[in-house]
Amino acid sequence: MTEGRDADFYASDVAFTSSVKAMQARKGSRQAIEAMEKQRCWETRITRDLAEFIEAQTSVFLATASKSGQPYIQHRGGPKGFLKVLDEKTIGFADFAGNRQYISLGNLAENPKAHLFLIDYVNRQRVKIWGEARIVENDAELLKRLMPQRYRARPEQVLLFRVATWDANCAQHIPQRFDAPDVASTLTEQAQRIATLETELSRLQAETSRRESGL
Same domain, 48 and 35: no
| In a shared domain, residues 47 and 149 | yes
In total, how many domains does the chain have?
3
Predicted confidence at residue 215, as pLDDT, reads 56
**In whole angstroms, what is the distance from residue 42 CA to residue 85 CA?**
18
57 shares its domain with 148:
yes
Amino acid in position 189: E
Q: Give the span between the Cα atoms of 215 and 145, in whole angstroms.
A: 72
Q: What pLDDT is attached to residue 31? A: 94
Claim to verify: residue 11 and residue 38 sit in the same structural domain: yes
User: Do residues 209 and 116 share a domain?
Assistant: no
Question: Which pLDDT tens digits describe the chain residue by residue (215 residues)?
Answer: 344 445 567 999 999 999 999 999 999 999 999 998 888 789 999 999 999 999 999 999 999 999 999 999 999 999 999 999 999 999 999 999 888 899 999 999 999 999 999 999 888 899 999 999 999 999 999 999 999 999 999 999 999 999 999 999 877 777 777 778 878 888 899 989 999 999 999 999 888 888 887 65
Angle at 61 between CA 56 and CA 67, to 5 degrees: 140
- At position 197, the amino acid (one-letter code) is L
- If asked whether residues 64 and 99 sit together in one domain, one would say yes
207 lies in which domain range?
178-215
191 and 145 in one domain?
no
- Asked whether residue 10 falls in the same domain as residue 69, the answer is no
Clarify whether residues 87 and 70 are in a common domain: yes
Q: Assign 60 to helix, strand or coil.
A: strand
Which 3 state secondary structure label does DSSP give 140?
Answer: helix
| H or E segment and range at residue 166 | strand 155-169
One domain, residues 60 and 118: yes
pLDDT at residue 1, as a whole number: 38
Q: Are 4 and 68 part of one and the same domain?
A: no
